[in-house]
Amino acid sequence: MLQLGSKVVIVADQYEQKLPVGEYGYIIAYDRNADNVFDYVLRVPGANRNFLVPEEDIELEEVLLQLEIDRIERESLIDFALATHNEELFHRIMNGEQEETEADKESQEPLSRDDFIRQVNLKAWI
């Protein structure tokens, strides 16, 4: 549950009540009625109105700013990797995690003869 006075941004209009999507507002009250789908009363200064909104339609401004920062950081790292022809950095950014390198694969325990034959037969079967 978000705190009173939190600055939020309207990200959706789930119930089509003509919310100003993209505008910011402040949580001024909780809607405690159990029979109601709305969770908060939101004051939108740009529209000079109060709106009843469900929790899914709003997001904290800090969260949206952090998502935008992460996106910009990722794009700039991709641009840097392309400009410097750093293929390893590019693949790591695009895949999301660092893949096992050949050195890591070699450092694993060697397979026994029976395990090796089993793997070869399994791959041949496929």
Asked if pLDDT for residue 122 goes beyond 70, the answer is yes
Contacts of 108 (CB under 8 A, 6+ apart): none
Quote the pLDDT of residue 42: 94
| DSSP characters over 29-47 | EE---TT-S--EEEEETTT
What confidence tens digit (pLDDT) does each residue in 81-114 have? 999 988 888 889 888 765 555 455 555 677 788 8
Give the homologous superfamily in CATH for domain 7-60: SH3 Domains (2.30.30.40)
What confidence tens digit (pLDDT) does each residue in 29-39 have? 998 888 889 99
Instruction: Report percent pLDDT > 90 for the chain.
Output: 56
The full set of domain ranges for the chain reads 7-60
What's the chain's average pLDDT? 85
Evaluate if pTM is beyond 0.75: no
